[in-house]
Amino acid sequence: MKIVESIAGLRDVVRLKRRSGARIGFVPTMGYLHAGHLSLVSASRSAADYTIASIYVNPTQFALGEDLSRYPRDPGGDRAKLEAAGCDLLYMPAQEEIYPEGYGTFVDVEGVTARYEGAFRPDHFRGVATIVAKLFMIVAPEVAVFGQKDAQQVAVVRRMIADLHFDIELLVCPTMRDPDGLAMSSRNVYLSANEREEALSISRGLRAAKNAIESGASIQDAENMLRRAISPAFAVDYADIINAATFQPAVSLNDPLLAVFAGRIGSTRLIDNMPVGAGR
């Protein structure tokens, strides 16, 4: 696996690959990779001829007081995992090339960012859309692969691809879960054993909501089941059934429904979601 740190170096490789007719697949990450990330690499390898993964902990998507400084990092382990997963190139951008002195351009996606993560982390999606747009401009892939775990991020990237005319196919891979149901996340490493146990109530709640909708319950009843299932150890930001296309509250069982959760346990904020009913 090639490792490249400069924009010019990356563009040279991409130019050569494209000249030989290769379709480029791209998996952007912030590192500390787990099986969920590796499933994205595998999806890219199936959809493209040459897979590029990036590792970059993007400062503009963290608010002051969030976990930027302690975000888990394991560059050596990540390299080995990507290599074993068959990734062709790892792009590790240099901070000074991505946000040079005087940097002043940002991408704001409206609408799908109004609620949920967008409301609880006000500048988060501005940072995400900005870095993803920059990476798309640098890598210029034919296919980009994201995980359903960050469902609202997927909606933001989908909107941005359409609005900014990126000629990129968006592939979305299902959330990978540990055998006990906990959604895989780099942030799970922050959890104590007891917090991890309480966190299992998230997937139990999402599944209860899904089963309720599929057995004919109303949106309100399913939402109540979800909220009741969540451990009181959580300070809940939201536990709702929403419209997965608009990221607004669901109004009809015919909407593409998504059960979503975000909350804090101890010093760790977790998010998860599950497509339900027509949204399955």
> Using CB under 6 A as the criterion, which residues of the chain lie in contact with ligand PAF when the complex forms?
28-30, 58, 61, 128, 131-132, 150, 153
What residues contact residue 95 under an 8 Å CB cut-off, 6+ apart?
Answer: none
Neighbour count for residue 274 (Cβ, 10 Å):
25
In the complex with ligand PAF, the residue whose CB is nearer, 150 or 272, is: 150
Give the nearest distance from C-beta 30 to ligand PAF in angstroms: 4
| Residue number, 50 or 56, with CB nearest to ligand PAF | 56
Identity of the residue, 38 or 213, whose beta carbon is nearer to ligand PAF in the bound complex = 38
- DSSP secondary structure of 156-171: HHHHHHHHTT---EEE
Residues 237-251: b if buried by 16+ CB within 10 A, e if exposed:
bbbbbbbbebbeebe
Measured from the CB of residue 243, what is the shortest distance to ligand PAF in angstroms? 22
Residue 209 · residue 223 · CB < 8 Å: yes
Instruction: With CA atoms as reference, report the closest residue to 110 among 126, 121, 124.
Output: 126
Binning the chain into helix, strand and coil, the percentages to the nearest 5 are 45, 20, 35
Q: Is 37 a catalytic residue?
A: yes
Q: How far is the CB of 260 from ligand PAF (least distance, A)?
A: 16
- Cβ proximity of 39 and 173 under 8 Å: yes
Nearer to ligand PAF by Cβ, of 30 and 160: the residue is: 30
Shortest approach of ligand PAF to residue 156 CB, angstroms? 10
DSSP state of 177: B
Q: What's at 119, amino acid-wise?
A: A
**Whether the Cβ atoms of residue 165 and residue 47 lie closer than 8 Å to each other:** no
CB of 127 to ligand PAF, least distance (A): 7
Nearer to ligand PAF (CB atom), residue 117 or residue 240: 117
Strand partners, 170: 144
Active site residues: 37
